[in-house]
Amino acid sequence: MAARVDAVFADYASADGPGCSVGVIRNGRLVHAAGYGSANLEYGVPNGPATIYRIASVSKQFTAGAIALLALRGEVDLDATVQRYIPEFPDYPDPPAVRHLVHHTSGVRDYLGLFSLAGNRSEDFITNRDILDAITRQRELNFPPGSEYLYSNSGYVLLGEIVARVTGQSLREFAKAEFFDPLGMPHTHFHDDHNEVVPNRATGYSPTESGFRINMTTLDVVGDGGIYTSVEEWAAWDRNLTKGTVGGPDWVALMHERGVLTSGDTIPYAFGLSHGEHQGLATVGHGGSWVGYRTGMSRYPGTGHSFVALCNRSRIDPMSLIASTAEIYLEDAMDPPEDVAAGEAEEAADEDAPEAPPDHDIPHRTRYAGSFHSPELDATYRIVEEGAAGLTLHVGRRDPVTLAAEADGQLTIEGGTIFRFSELVGGRYGAMMVDAGRVKNLRFARTEG
């Protein structure tokens, strides 16, 4: 078994590069653990089962777990509005409830998208206070609460803030007292100070043409991410998701309770955990991706097995790695993999065909040029005429970006952000609306030119 798992992680086993730690848990006990590659390339420190990683969005289940604990104690009402606990939260006509935040059905715009759109870079320093200020400036939701599922990191920052305001403790303090100390996880914590020394921590890296570069974060933000833990300590948390040593059986049941849309449809997302299926077996898991860290966990409740992979190299797919590991341990319980039908293979080949290059030759470009301001972003966009027919977008501290024509009155940039222009007055557009993934219908008005 160990040799077959080693083969799965072989591409990341060299001491010359960062890699992963993997854990296999059966009935709450760590039955296999190994490390691959280096935790620190400067000092040649290897990854191992005790190596500490930032686990990114896999952290969400701890924030949700804290909310579930408070809900069962009667200290948080899942169906109460967010504004009950955070009074400065915008007074929307159709206000989202705490439960909507848990299941990503609130419609609250994602703060990572907002800060990126405002011209910030991933390495810029922001705090939970900065995020709350950005959220409270928003005057619209992406959609009516409960009507759709759209992943939002903002929702989990808000949940962490609710924990702090209800308990009088920081999310870090609450999680340590209620989860990590009782479960025997002494090194696991919400990392709310990026300057704090973390013994045995893996450095995050990203590949370059000549090797690797350090890719860490200055964010002190917790709630949507921020947990540091190891494969060894993960086993204790995994046991609690079954046994409810902390929280009891009602907590375990609530953690696995899926969200329900206003249409009556049930979604896979529960409390920081997502239900799925793998070759005939039910799964519950979550992945994480931030700076140079990639992480994933997947539980197979029907078999008593769980798998976790924590990696310190971007461009790794840990969920795929643990799926392959699960197939080694659970091959006798799984359905055989389905063959891809010829028609499906042809369709996949068509999807891989190269797309037509974007059209940077924009007609009527003077209609777009000028400055547009969004009070919700507290940012101004400058659209500048470049060369014979092109336009570039200038915002904040980010490098200028080339715009492309999507349709008449509609521009786009690489990555899929759409700019929809309206109110053509005096030969120039007076307003625009921006859609960018987890941020929709962001309004801008022309300020000059």
The DSSP string of 1-54 is -HHHHHHHTGGG--TTSB-EEEEEEETTEEEEEEEESEEETTTTEEP-TT-BEE
Q: How many residues would you count in the chain?
A: 449
* Mean of pLDDT over the chain: 93
Question: Can you give the pLDDT at residue 121?
Answer: 75
Amino acid sitting at position 119: G
- Residue 269 pairs in a beta bridge with 274
Residues 30-71 have pLDDT tens digits of: 999 999 999 999 999 999 999 999 999 999 999 999 999 999
Q: Would you state the pLDDT for residue 343?
A: 55
The predicted structure's pLDDT at residue 100: 98
21, 38, 57, 106: the active-site residue: 57
Q: Is 57 a catalytic residue?
A: yes
For position 232, what pLDDT does the model report? Answer: 98
pLDDT 10s digits, 196-223: 999 999 999 999 999 999 999 988 999 9
Inter-axis angle of helices 231-243 and 248-255, to 10 degrees? 110
Give the model confidence (pLDDT) of 401-423 as tens digits: 999 998 899 999 988 899 999 98
- pLDDT, position 127: 85
C-alpha distances (whole Å) from 375 to each of 86, 267, 447 are 21, 34, 12
| DSSP letter (8 states) at residue 156 | H
Measured CA to CA, the distance from residue 389 to residue 67 in angstroms comes to: 53
pLDDT value of position 96: 98
Among 282, 289, 318, CA closest to 60: 289
C-alpha distance from residue 412 to each of 117, 165, 168, 359 (Å) = 13, 41, 45, 10
Measured CA to CA, the distance from residue 101 to residue 155 in angstroms comes to 5
Range scoring the smallest mean pLDDT among 239-243, 360-364, 392-396: 360-364
| Under 8 Å between Cβ of 309 and 21 | yes
Give the mean model confidence (pLDDT) for residues 96-112: 97
The whole-angstrom separation of Cα 96 and Cα 162 is: 14
Distance, CA of 157 to CA of 108 (rounded, Å):
11
User: Which of these ranges, 17-21, 23-27, 90-94, 218-222, has the smallest mean pLDDT?
Assistant: 218-222
Entry pTM: 0.92
Instruction: Kindly report the number of other CB atoms within 10 A of residue 289's CB atom.
Output: 18
Q: How far apart are CA 55 and CA 220, in angstroms?
A: 14
Q: Which of 441, 367, 354, 368 lies closest to 403 in space, CA to CA? A: 368
Sign of the CA dihedral with 23 first, then 278, 303, and 289 last: positive
- Checking if the pLDDT of 85 tops 70, the result is yes
Percent of residues in the chain assigned helix, strand, coil, to nearest 5: 30, 30, 45
Residue 351 scores a pLDDT above 70: no
pLDDT mean over 103-125: 90
Average pLDDT over residues 277-305: 98
Complete DSSP assignment for 100-151: HHHTT-S-PPPHHHHHHHTT--TTS---HHHHHHHHHH----SSSTTS----
Q: What is the pLDDT of residue 344?
A: 52
Give pLDDT, residue 358.
Answer: 64
pLDDT value for 356 = 57
- The b-or-e profile of 405-414 (16+ CB within 10 A means b, else e) is bbeebebbbe
According to the model, what pLDDT value does residue 355 have? 58
Query: Which residues partner with 394 through β-bridges?
Result: 382
The alpha-carbon radius of gyration of the chain (Å, integer) is 23
- Spell out a b/e string for 38-73, using b for 16 or more CB atoms within 10 Å of the CB, else e: bbbbeeebbbbbebbbbbbbbbbbbbbbbbbbbbee
Position 34 scores a pLDDT of 98
Tell me which DSSP letter residue 274 carries: E
CA distance 257 to 241: 13
Q: Per residue in 421-432, pLDDT tens?
A: 998 888 999 999
